Amino acid sequence: MITRRRFGTAVIAVALGLSAAGCSATATAGQDETKAIKQVRFMVPNAPGSGWDTTARTTARVLEKSGIVNSTEVFNVDGANGTVGLARLASEKGNGNLIMQMGLGLVGSTVTLNSEVTLKDATPLAKTMEDLEVVFVKADSPFNTIDDLVSAWKADPHGTPIAGGSSPGGADHLVPMLMAKEIGISSKDVGYTSLGGSGVLPAVLGGQVDFAVTGAGDVVEQVKAGKVRALAVSGEKRLDELANVPTLKESGIDVTVTNWRGIVAPPGISDAQKDQLITMLDTMHASGEWQEALDTNGWVDAYVSGDDFASLITEQETAVRTLMAELGS
């Protein structure tokens, strides 16, 4: 998440100070209110297997398993780094039974693509979680530590291909760009390719890239299985699931990035529809099933809903614009 830029260093600091307890007051409204929602259609604006897709399908399972919603339908509308799906959402004005998964990556793509449709054309509902980024390589890579990687990258920036799931402005892109700035590599020399969430792991395993960056929830199991090697995480502190993996800051690279994902609805829904959807998500957040999902996926509980989430999106748009200008992207 980008909430404050510390100019002169390569740090994205997390300092919003919005707690789940302070932003979830409507969770006590109870499940009865949400029972009126018989079915929710849940759009994912990128491909199956991506981080957004995994998050949406996990959310849908929890909503059903916990009895908050009778049934959910998850479907994918891929294209233009999420903006095709956003345009589809914007065309569904007033549809109170449709929601869409999104996150920092979509904020970034609307900025960097100068999209005609922006998140101002959606109704913000809630940020449901945060996810640290992981810098990783295949298991037999010659890079055993982040220092090994940095040394090779500095020696041959053009010969060090990098992959991530997000488009420019998303967390997977910002991590290597900020790393490069911090270690003295020009942004023009960073060989980053956006492969979508489902394409990152195959590219690493197949040797098409030297290293990759993705959300922890997308790679923790592969690290534990010995298929890939994690070199660093992007948070202020280590990830419990990867306790032996240092942060970038510990490794002398002053970069901190936290990804986040949330849910929006179409524009023009009524206040009653908006309140009902937020109550649905507030109730989900308070459920044991959701806490279990957070633990299973290595996600951080950082729930924010309603107007606070709308303010967060606006703040993030401004931060991405500022940061991309600094990086010369």
Question: Comparing 199 with 110, which gets the higher pLDDT?
Answer: 110
Domain covering 134-232 in this structure, CATH number = 3.40.190.10
What are the structure tokens assigned to 243, written together? 């306790």
Which stretch of DSSP H or E encloses residue 53?
A: helix 51-65
Which of 320, 274, 313 lies closest to 86 in space, CA to CA?
313
Report d(CA 267, CA 40) in Å as an integer: 16
- End-to-end, the C-alpha distance of the chain in Å comes to 19
Question: Comparing 290 with 13, which gets the higher pLDDT?
Answer: 290
Pick the CATH number of 15-130+258-327 from 3.30.830.10, 3.40.190.150, 3.90.1170.50, 3.30.565.10: 3.40.190.150
What are the structure tokens assigned to 64, written together? 């059903």
- The answer to whether residues 115 and 109 touch, using CB atoms and an 8 Å cutoff, is yes
Report d(CA 7, CA 323) in Å as an integer: 10
Report d(CA 299, CA 297) in Å as an integer: 5
Q: Which pLDDT belongs to residue 304?
A: 98
Tell me the per-residue pLDDT of 70-102, one tens digit each, with 9 for 90 and over. 999 999 999 999 999 999 999 999 999 999 999
Tell me the per-residue pLDDT of 11-53, one tens digit each, with 9 for 90 and over. 343 332 333 333 443 444 444 555 558 899 999 999 998 889 9
What are the structure tokens assigned to 244, written together? 């032996």
pTM of the shown model: 0.85
Q: Which pLDDT belongs to residue 15?
A: 30
Residue 232 has pLDDT above 50, yes or no: yes
Q: Which pLDDT belongs to residue 218?
A: 87
Listed by start position, the domains of the chain span 15-130+258-327, 134-232
Tell me the per-residue pLDDT of 114-172, one tens digit each, with 9 for 90 and over. 999 999 999 999 999 999 999 999 999 999 999 999 999 999 999 999 999 888 999 99
Question: Comparing 290 with 296, which gets the higher pLDDT?
Answer: 290
Fold: same for 15-130+258-327 and 134-232: yes
Q: Which pLDDT belongs to residue 29?
A: 43
